[in-house]
Structure 1
Amino acid sequence: MRSKLSTLFFSTARKVARLQRTAWRLGMPGLFDERAPQRARRPPAKSPATRKPAAADAAPEFDAADFAGVWKSRVYRTPAVPGAWPVRLSYFVYVPPKLRKGCPMLVMLHGCEQSAMDFAVGTRMHRLADREGLLLVYPQQSLRGQRHRCWHWYQPDAAHGYAEADAIAGIASAAALDYRADPTRVYIAGLSAGASMAALAALRHPHIFAALAMHSGAVLGSARSAADGLRTMRHGASLPPDAALAPLLGDRAGFPGMPAIILQGGRDAVVDRRNGVHLLAQLAWANGLDADAAGPQQEEGEGTVRHYRRTDVPAGRGTVVSLCEVPELGHAWSGGDGRVRFHARQGPDASRLIWRFLKTRRRVAQAETR
């Protein structure tokens, strides 16, 4: 018996080691490292005369002068509630020129190894916000909370994923109140880990968010740990939609629905393309629909660098859930600033696609809250 247990132990240890090496190779080490980082010393500032010129393809530094609107920095702390896990998050608000009362608002969640400002520069969502009068809110995961700024979507419990989702919902409510945004037009979007966290926040708080956008995100309900999260990213859902989402939604009959758009790269080596297909099924189920009700796949921009394939549920003008697959795209925001890590020039403009889907959605007033 002792020999069998020893063999099982070392077999399991070898498998975990392989998973860890794979995570590092794919550039997602944060899933396996929860240690708090040492505070790095800030290098002395260089004068303009000694600063080296940036390479043509180097990632641009954040410069407020590149934005027509104004940036505001805020800190949110979850209220002290017995049994609730305390969360403290920084967030940044982008106020476009001539913002009007009753404006729509979009919460944007960055991915692992990104800051809120990386995400803002890479997606260029501010350009659209300037034209549309859209208030943007960028919560930022703390380095104390996760060494690589990953959101804990893969640990949906009161001390991790749920606590962060509740804090993000709290930020959305506070920002909407502060800037007098339309409470029926508050949306949420994210990239990679931020996409899965956006889904967790939206499905957990349908009384706050009117619609959801996920770019390169993993399915929900199949992970309870970092190792589970990696397996989910590589293989997609391990449970059918009802089993995966029932713990999150509770009684689906009482769930008001959550329109959603999903974007997924066909050459994504970090989050396998199967996640996009499985998310379509999950979010269709959450909205009381069947993925089998999807219309035929539509080719958009065929023969150009903007080519993608769209699948809508249900078919026709009443689309509630839409999947946009970009065949040649890796793990990156489509049509963004390619100089910023995890953003690509190729593919359709994801920011424009997302806003086109979100802008007509309105949340139905609900008395019930979680």
Structure 2
Amino acid sequence: MPKRPSAAASLRRAWRKGLSAVTGQVLRSARDAAHQARRTGSSDLMPDLVRGMRKTPAHPSPGLGDWVAGIASGRAGMRRFRLFRPSGLAVGERPPLVVMLHGCGQDPAGFARSTRMNRLAAREGFLVLYPEQSRLANPQRCWNWFDTESGRAQAEAALILAAIDQVCLLHGADRERVALVGLSAGAGMAALLATMHPSRFKAVAMHSGVPPGMATSATNALRAMRGSALPSTSTSTSTSTSASASASTSTSNATGAWPPLLVIHGTRDRVVGASNAYEAARQWAEAAGAKAAPARVVQRGRRWPMTVVDFKRGRAVAATLVEIDGLAHAWSGGAAKEPFSDPAGPDATAMIWRFVAKRLALKA
């Protein structure tokens, strides 16, 4: 008598069949759009995306888990993404998800190597999503966090949300335990996304980025990066309205409307002015009605010292500001010889996970 397949085996087969169907549909849509773009002579993201899906870039964390390719679509077009899924996750398990938004000049594999977030994910058992900006959307691969006047920033934020939804649906990530992390332009996009959709995230971490409302287009983005811009009235009003609406409908965040924020910034950053770090913490504190606790100086071994300030409402932390003395525009404590990475700084990846894990109700 033939042996009946187990429930787990049946579930795996159903999951693979569903994934194959969705991926096939996305690729067919991409090919159709690319064909249409060639016929009409329009510039479109589709050819770049289709070519990218055929490539198999080197796995940044071999032996630790799977490096899965995917595509998300929305009104801003389509974007590739990579998902790191650590080995050993059980079928049916719903692990938390950390979303990593790279900076200018980076891609998912490089960002993963620099931050070593995959190594931490393999140890702690969470998924890591790396959305990828296209060169056609921005020649330097920067997320267009500043372009709120045209709506491009909001459209790219929606694409990232679509990628998150896809990972939750197809790969079993727990949509109630999602955290956002970004570096530079990715940090600006992470902050914007968190204020637009605060109920979707349990925590957000900005490394060397610009907070929402400091720019509305490419023409004033440079001033914002230098720290010489004031928050835009229209964007600030929109953000405040979003926060107020969320406060009345969301009870998932103990500090108020927005998810708790960790800000990490170097005092020698010449690309994004360090005043942006305080402005981000100030925005979050104001939204939560939080006040600054006394600053403390922390130094681990010979790494750069850091000044840490918590902004609290009661015992709840709305924001934590970490200013690292001597750090330039680079991931603090990142892998040596990687671009935008400084091994002399305190370990930002570990700091971020400790901050995030508490909000995900996990052991840090």
Fold match by TM threshold 0.5: yes
Map 1:232-271; keep pairs closer than 5 Å.
232-239=224-231, 245-255=236-246, 256-271=257-272
Q: CA deviation at 1:144?
A: 1.3
Q: 1:360 to 1:130 in 2, by over 3 A?
A: same
- Higher RCO (CA-CA < 8 Å; seq separation 6+): 1
- Secondary structure of the residue that 1:172 maps to in structure 2? helix
**Counterpart position of 2:161:** 169
CA change 1:349–1:317 in 2 (3 A) is: farther
Q: Which runs of 4+ in 1 moved over 2 A?
A: 61-67, 242-246, 251-257, 315-318
- Partners of 2:242 and 2:218 in 1: CA distance: 28
- Partner in structure 2 of residue 321 of structure 1: 319
The partner residue of 1:341 within 339, 342, 345 is: 339
Residues 235, 272 of structure 1: 8 Å contact kept: yes
What is the total number of aligned residue pairs between the two structures?
Answer: 299
3-state SS in 2 of match to 1:359: helix
SS at the partner of 1:177? helix
Contact persistence 2:304–2:327 (CA under 8 A): no
Letter in 2 for 1:163: A
> C-alpha root-mean-square deviation of aligned residues, in Å?
2.6
* C-alpha displacement of 1:98: 1.2
| Residues 357 and 237 of structure 1: CA distance in aligned 2, closer, same or farther (over 3 Å) | farther
Alpha-carbon separation, structure 2, partners of 1:186 and 1:303: 32
2:78 pairs with 1:88: yes
Question: What CA distance in whole angstroms lies between the structure 2 residues aligned with 1:348 and 1:268?
Answer: 15
Q: What amino acid is the match of 2:241?
A: G
In structure 1, list runs of 5 or more residues that go unmatched. Answer: 1-34, 43-60, 79-84, 364-370
- Any idea what the Cα deviations from partners look like across 1:48-84, whole Å, max 9, x if unmatched? xxxxxxxxxxxxx944564511100001112xxxxxx
2:289 counterpart letter in structure 1: L
Q: 1-side partners of 2:134 and 2:103: how far apart?
A: 12
Task: State the alpha-carbon separation in 1 of the partners of residues 155 and 123 from structure 2.
Answer: 34
- Select the residue among 186, 189, 198 that pairs with 2:181: 189
Cα deviations across residues 190-220 of structure 1 (Å, max 9, x unaligned)?
Answer: 0000000011111111232221010000122
User: Normalized per residue, which structure has more helix?
Assistant: 2
Q: 1:147 to 1:284 in 2, by over 3 A?
A: same
Amino acid at match of 1:294: A
**Superposed counterparts of 1:1-370, under 5 Å:** 62-64=58-60, 66-78=62-74, 85-100=75-90, 101-157=93-149, 159-239=151-231, 245-255=236-246, 256-286=257-287, 288-290=288-290, 293-301=291-299, 304-314=302-312, 317-362=315-360
Decide whether the 8 Å contact of 1:105 with 1:181 is kept in 2.
yes
Question: Structure 2: 5+ residue runs without aligned partners?
Answer: 1-42, 52-56, 247-256
Could you report, residue by residue, the CA deviation over 1:83-108 in whole angstroms, capped at 9, with x for unpaired residues? xx332000000001112412110010
Q: Secondary structure at the match of 2:144?
A: coil
- CA 1:65–1:121 in structure 2 vs 1: closer, same or farther (change >3 Å)? closer
Task: Go from structure 1 to structure 2 and tell me whether the alpha carbon gap of 1:263 and 1:36 turns closer, same or farther (over 3 Å shift).
Answer: farther
Give distance in 2, aligned partners of 1:118 and 1:184: 28
Alpha-carbon spacing, 1:315–1:296, altered in 2? closer, same or farther (3 Å): farther
Q: CA deviation at 1:254?
A: 2.6
In 1: Cα distance, 2:140 partner to 2:234 partner: 30
Cα offset, 1:295, TM superposition: 0.6
Normalising by the residue count of structure 2, what TM-score does the alignment of the two structures yield? 0.76
User: Kindly tell me: are residues 165 and 212 of structure 1, through their superposed partners in 2, closer, same or farther at Cα, counting changes over 3 Å?
Assistant: same
How big is each residue's C-alpha offset from its partner over 1:277-331, in whole Å with a ceiling of 9 and x where there is no partner? Answer: 1111012223x224xx111111111673142111001178522210111011000
Q: Distance in 2 between matches of 1:64 and 1:251?
A: 37
Instruction: Give distance in 2, aligned partners of 1:346 and 1:334.
Output: 7
Cα distance change, pair 198–211 in 1 and its aligned pair in 2 (3 A): same
What SS is found at the alignment partner of 2:358? coil
